[in-house]
Amino acid sequence: MLLVVGLGNPGKEYAAHRHNVGFMAVDALAEEVRADPFREKFSGVHAKAEIAGQPAILLKPMTYMNESGRSVQPAMAFFKIAPSGLIVLHDELDLPFGTVRLKVGGGHAGHNGLRSIIAHCGTGNFGRVRLGIGRPPAGFRGEVADYVLSGFDAVERAGLPDCLKQAVQSVLEVAARGFDAAMNVRNTRPKPGKRQKGEGDGSTDPAPAAKGERGPLPPTQKP
């Protein structure tokens, strides 16, 4: 059995934010595989589904991002799912917008949702589907937390359906062929073109954040 988790923050005010692209991807997956209706449990909402012939649980923690592990760990325990059966879909600052990449294991790289899951489950040895949202563009005035808790611009909104489709196809391939085979296919896809300086934000002001720089992600409580 697989546990496919999409990360995000609950509530209408967060629904369209970059930080909620994991929720969006799980919703798209639920539609693609015709999952059962979502029901409340495990401090979240979950739905039963079948993916590539395998039974699966789709889960969206309703704990706020920083406490995602409080939802994921009980679900894993209840359904007796090992870390190898866990797939987490999440936003990724260090990938350009629209890029989808697979990864198994590793740390949290500053992502507080992953940080919480690793802390509660006692391991980082699970699969991830990383959905690129990119770094704040030139001219963005605010912290990284402000960026992830903001909506996509017009250019990104136009490309979002393809990004979600890639994420769904990635999960289907993992379920059908395993992570190694799926990574050989998905991680060698050409990267989408980079957004030009100032495109989508109406500005050509200061340069983006330095490579490797990572700001704080939003707290558990509403900002």
Tokens of residue 53, six digits: 């012939």
8 A C-beta contact, residue 69 and residue 118:
yes
Taking Cα atoms as reference points, which of 134, 127, 129, 150 lies closest to residue 192?
134
d(CA 146, CA 61): 21
- Ligand-binding annotation for 9, yes or no, is no
- Ligand-binding annotation for 147, yes or no, is no
Q: Are strands 44-51 and 54-61 parallel, antiparallel or unpaired?
A: antiparallel
d(CA 138, CA 163): 22
Tokens of residue 223, six digits: 């900002």
Sign of the torsion angle spanned by Cα atoms 215, 106, 125, 15: positive
Active site annotation includes 111: no
d(CA 84, CA 171): 14
8 A C-beta contact, residue 215 and residue 209:
yes
Residue where the block lists tokens 């903001």:
150
**Which member of 19, 46, 90, 111 is catalytic?**
19
Binding residues for tRNA: 14, 64, 66, 112
Binding residues: 14, 64, 66, 112
Catalytic residue numbers? 19
